[in-house]
Amino acid sequence: MDNLTRLSFDVAVIGAGPAGIAAATVAGESGAATVLLDDNPAIGGQIWRGDLLAENNKEKTQWVERLKNSSAKLIPGAQVFHLGAETVAAETDDAVFQIEYRRLILATGAREFFLPFPGWTLPNVVGAGSLQALIKAGLPVSGKRVVIAGAGPLLFTVADFVRARGGIVLGICEQTSWNKLALFAWELSRVPGKIQDALRLRHGIRGIPLWTDCWPLAAIGGEHVEAVRLSRDGRVCEIDCDYLACGFHLVPNTELAVFMGCQLRGGFVEVDEHQRTTIRNVHCAGEPTGIGGVELALVEGQVAGYAASGREDAARQLFRQRAAHRRVVKPLRRAFCLRPELKSMAQPETFVCRCEDVPLKSLCEHNSWRAAKLQTRCGMGACQGRVCGPAAEFLFGWKMDSPRPPIFPVRCSSLAAISEDGALVEQKRKPAKPPEAVLF
Amino acid sequence: MGDTIIVRVNGKPVSVPKGSTVAIAVLIAGATSRISVAGEPRAPFCGTGSCFECRVAIDGRLHRRGCQVLCEAEMEITSNG
């Protein structure tokens, strides 16, 4: 059995993206014994993901340096799989941690929102942000023909990035309308720093066709994707490609917050001015409280870090700055909200749940997420509904149930280690249910 | 471009940039990562640890997410298991 390492901290921060790094740094600087956990091998989260071929950006380098100089302890590669009122359980490659905390800060970020369409399970059909992440992790795309589709400003960032790495971006397909996009660009000018970003990006993607009112109808191919069929201004067209990178903006990672019993509002974690959730000792910062990008995440992280370490005065100094950055949240939501036509991308035979290969036609017979889970195994696979859950909510209006322990697939030895100890089970606010027996 | 290292994907040596993840080794090898319940070959999809499509066996340990593990020299990666 893996050794159980017991640790105790004043503040535990989960997620080492911008919000988590900022939170842990200021908590550490404020004298609180602080730990920062992240499931990736390296810190940075999605937006500051390390790149094999490029230097880190300046802002990231400065924050990481400040984190290192603080007293906060970092545990990378740590997957949180259970939470109690005062304890976090996490496993790394070769260890299991049980960490006591007084205050918990959830900085779990966001993931891409995926929608099913015929052929979306073909190799080389990936998410938009996914393609960027894979390139940063070493995937060569020089000379590869790439179509980028979906929704959100990430499509532009990825187009710029792919082209800089020698890929041939054949087009950006944005499902929203030109009018909404233009309004968004105008609204960005009211948010500090954003207009410069937008202009830089516009320069980066010059010459790449941008099609609005455009979305994928199917990915076509044998062993991997060879072409994409698009709906473009109401007409159907096909484009040959080596990669289809398709993501429909972001979905907040609220699983841990929901598991803790924190209240959500409109799909996001409800927080007060100190980033406190509705659970007494749990704070939340960054994308789970509203998709707003890196600058907002940094400020929210600092507010949470100061508040969790008893420095409400320092947190208060940041409220004005936070309000300025929050101005991006609503325009983002309005500009890239998904059009109803996207519900008809998936065909009866299209798999909605990729883990368990559950086609749309099997889901249509049910009237809730729970019924669909029980009858079809939708959302019961390894990803625990992280991909198909948000899709099913969009397609059918179904709300996902609260996650059950373990929150993430883990080694049996890790479960055994914490069960034997008993501390977590006793502290749970709900009666402990046995873990699902088959995780894969 | 920095150094490269050699790993094996399904027994075949593959050269990858140092610091690459296992998911990248699978893609560079032209392999797929797993066979789905219905028998479809699947390859890395989300690249960020949430979809589990890239799971492979690494040095005999099953069901590891290739996108969350860095390649090490001589690593044995077995896919489509």
This prediction has a pTM of 0.94
- Give chain A positions within 8 Å (CB) of B16: 138
Which has more confidence, B80 or A97? Answer: A97
Q: What is the spatial distance between Cα A427 and Cα A100, in angstroms, rounded to a whole number?
A: 11
Pairing of strands B34-35, B41-42: antiparallel
Distance from CA of A155 to the nearest CA of B (A): 15
Inter-chain CB proximity B52 and A133 less than 8 Å? no
The CATH architecture that domain A4-111+251-332 belongs to is 3-Layer(bba) Sandwich (3.50)
Inter-chain CB proximity A133 and B48 less than 8 Å? yes
| Residue A2: predicted pLDDT | 59
Token reading at A171: 């087009």
Q: What is the spatial distance between Cα A67 and Cα A315, in angstroms, rounded to a whole number?
A: 18
| Residue A177: predicted pLDDT | 96
CB proximity under 8 Å: B 31-50 to A: 32, 36-38, 40-50
Which has more confidence, A416 or B81? Answer: A416
B73 and chain A in contact, CB less than 8 A: no
| Residue A3: predicted pLDDT | 75
Inter-chain CB proximity B44 and A134 less than 8 Å? yes
Q: Residues in chain A, how many?
A: 440
CA A135, chain centre distance (Å): 18
* Residue A402: pLDDT band with limits 50, 70, 90: confident
CB A124 within 8 A of CB A243: yes
Inter-chain CB proximity B46 and A139 less than 8 Å? no
Residues 6+ apart with CB under 8 A from A170: A145, A146, A147, A209, A239, A241
The CATH architecture that domain A114-248 belongs to is 3-Layer(bba) Sandwich (3.50)
Residue A421 pLDDT > 90? no
Find which of B52, B62, B75 to mutate to test the A interface (most A CBs within 10 Å of its CB): B52
Q: What is the spatial distance between Cα A198 and Cα A413, in angstroms, rounded to a whole number?
A: 48
Residue A29 pLDDT > 50? yes
Mean pLDDT of A297-305: 98
Q: What is the spatial distance between Cα A411 and Cα A252, in angstroms, rounded to a whole number?
A: 26
Q: Residues in chain B, how many?
A: 81
Q: For residue A268, give the nearest of A251, A282, A280 by alpha carbon.
A: A251
Q: What is the spatial distance between Cα A318 and Cα A66, in angstroms, rounded to a whole number?
A: 18
3 state SS for A363-395: HCCCCCHHHHHHHHCCCCCCCCCCCHHHHHHHH
Mean pLDDT value across chain B: 95
| Residue A425: predicted pLDDT | 53
One-letter amino acid at A30 equals S
What DSSP character marks residue A19? H
- A184-198, A225-239, A300-314, B60-74: segment of lowest average pLDDT: A184-198
Mean pLDDT of A150-170: 97
Residues from A contacting B (CB-CB < 8 Å) are 39-41, 46, 52-53, 77, 111-112, 114, 121, 123-127, 129-134, 137-140, 223-224, 351, 354-357, 381-383, 386-387, 409, 439-440
Residues 6+ apart with CB under 8 A from A197: none
- Give chain B positions within 8 Å (CB) of A381: 52
Residue A266 pLDDT > 70? yes
Q: What is the pLDDT of residues A199-251, one digit of tens each?
A: 888 888 999 999 999 999 999 999 999 999 999 989 999 999 999 999 999 99
- A138-147, A181-190, A325-334: segment of lowest average pLDDT: A181-190
Q: What is the spatial distance between Cα A118 and Cα A344, in angstroms, rounded to a whole number?
A: 11
CB atoms within 10 A of CB A179: 11
CB A173 within 8 A of CB A150: yes
Mean pLDDT of B1-8: 87
Residues 6+ apart with CB under 8 A from A235: none
3 state SS for A285-327: CCHHHCCCCHHHHHHHHHHHHHHHCCCHHHHHCCHHHHHHHHC
| Residue A432: predicted pLDDT | 39
Q: What is the spatial distance between Cα A136 and Cα A28, in angstroms, rounded to a whole number?
A: 30
ipTM of the complex: 0.97
Q: Which domains does chain B have, with CATH numbers?
A: 4-78 (3.10.20.30)
CA distances from B71 to A43, A45, B23, B81 (A): 17, 20, 9, 19
- Which pairs from A232-238 meet CB under 8 Å and 24+ separation? A232/A173
| Residue A435: predicted pLDDT | 41
**SS3 (DSSP) at A75:** strand
* Residue A426: pLDDT band with limits 50, 70, 90: very low
Inter-chain CB proximity B45 and A140 less than 8 Å? no
* Residue A420: pLDDT band with limits 50, 70, 90: low
Mean pLDDT value across chain A: 93
Q: What is the pLDDT of residues A49-81, one digit of tens each?
A: 999 888 889 999 999 999 999 999 999 999 999
- Give chain A positions within 8 Å (CB) of B48: 46, 111-112, 127, 129-130, 133
Give percent above pLDDT 90 in chain A. Answer: 85
E strand or H helix at A334? helix A329-335
Q: For residue A14, give the nearest of A260, A248, A200 by alpha carbon.
A: A260
- The residue of chain B nearest to residue A377, with distances taken between CA atoms, is B37
| Residue B81: predicted pLDDT | 65
Parse chain A into domains and list their residue ranges. 4-111+251-332, 114-248, 346-396
- Residue in the structure block whose two tokens are 């400020």: A299
Q: What is the pLDDT of residues A374-389, one digit of tens each?
A: 999 999 999 999 999 9
CA distances from A80 to A12, A14, A166, A382, A434 (A): 12, 8, 37, 15, 18
